[in-house]
Structure 1
Amino acid sequence: MLELVTPSLEDMWFREKLLADEETMSYNHAWGGTIPFPKEKWEEWYDRWLINHENIRYYRYLKDENGFVGEIAYHYDSEYDGYVANVIIFSMNRGKGYGTQGLELLCKAAREKGIAALYDDIAIDNTAIKLFIKHGFYEEYRTEDKIVLKKI
């Protein structure tokens, strides 16, 4: 069973580690793979996502009995005129059902905030598409590069 954790600024080391891990970020290969998140960016990012989120951004860590295992988030995106979901599970914790639990917790959090629909744009070859479809998302449209999924 996973627990949602609002990370502290000092906990951003986990996000840095998550985004820097090549295997974890392999799903992001179409958009450049790993993402640098050096310590000098933590405070500005933390302020935007966790302090001054303006009710258009949501961010939490997923934690099991051994520590942090991933992150969930959503944010408003004008391209979709809606909220885009994000679920990342650290590669060494995959295959344990954490993606499913994280997605369920994210949908629950969005519902509690009155969000009517979540979107996700996923690279066309990303195996996570199956996870989203299994949990009530449907294909809104696709391009050569991505599939846009939606859940009401």
Structure 2
Amino acid sequence: MLDIYKPNLDDLWFRENLMADEDTMSYNKAWGGTIAFPKDKWQNWHQTWIEGSPFHNYYRYLYDTDSKNFVGEIAYHYDKKRKIHICNVIILAKYRNKGFGAKGIQLLCTMAKQNGVLTLYDDIAADNQSYKLFLKNGFTIDYQNNEVVMVKKTL
């Protein structure tokens, strides 16, 4: 079973490892691949993403109760420039193709709706086939070009 977990400051080691994992972050190669998340950034990040307004920023880990491991993360944030909520689902590479991505999308949509979000979007690199997982979970293609596939779902 998959649960959402609200990480404490000390739990951000998992996010640091997730962002640094080359296999996991290979989907992000169009935007630079792995992402540094050093410990000196954790406090401010935690205040914004976890302690802040759940309408503007939402972040949780995905926790597999069977293996007793964190398997990924779900998040969304309000993009002020575009005036839309952009979501994010990342599953650690070794846990992919086990249904965690689909369940993570479903959990994220449920939480976003509970927090007053009307529509979620995700801008996915055009060469990343994960947009198909979003389509299987109720998202539609809002637009696409050679660089990005923008998916959206009205909640």
Same fold (TM over 0.5): yes
1:101 to 90, 96, 103: 103
Q: TM-score, normalised by structure 1?
A: 0.96
Structure 2 CA distance for aligned equivalents of residues 42 and 26 of structure 1: 23
SS at match of 1:51: coil
Structure 1: 5+ residue runs without aligned partners? none
Q: Deviations over 1:73-119 (max 9, x none)?
A: 00001243110110000011111100000000000001111211000
Q: What is the CA deviation profile of residues 116-150 of structure 1, one whole-angstrom value per residue up to 9, with x for unaligned ones?
A: 10000000011211100111111111232111111
| Range with bigger deviation, 138-147 or 19-28 | 138-147
Structure 2 contact 5–60 (Cα < 8 Å) conserved? yes
Aligned length: 152
- What TM-score does the superposition give when structure 2 sets the normalisation length? 0.94
Root-mean-square deviation (CA, aligned residues, Å) is 1.1
1-structure distance, mates of 2:75, 2:11: 16
C-alpha distance in structure 2 between counterparts of 1:90 and 1:79, whole Å: 30
Corresponding residue for residue 55 of structure 1: 55
The 4+ residue runs of structure 1 with deviation greater than 6 A are none
- Write the distance in 2 (CA, Å) between the matches of 1:130 and 1:24: 17
State which drifts further: 16-25 or 49-58.
49-58
Partner residue in 2 for 1:89? 91
Match of 2:21 in 1: 21
Q: In structure 1, what is the equivalent of residue 147 of structure 2?
A: 145
Structure 2 CA distance for aligned equivalents of residues 37 and 53 of structure 1: 22
Task: Provide the C-alpha distance between the structure 2 equivalents of 1:52 and 1:129, rounded to a whole number of angstroms.
Answer: 28
CA separation in 2, counterparts of 1:4 and 1:54? 14
Task: Provide structure 2 residue ranges, at least 5 long, that are not aligned to the other structure.
Answer: none
1:31 alignment counterpart: 31
Paired letter, 2:25: M
On the 8 A contact 2:73/2:91 being kept in 1, the answer is yes
- Residue aligned with 2:73, SS: strand
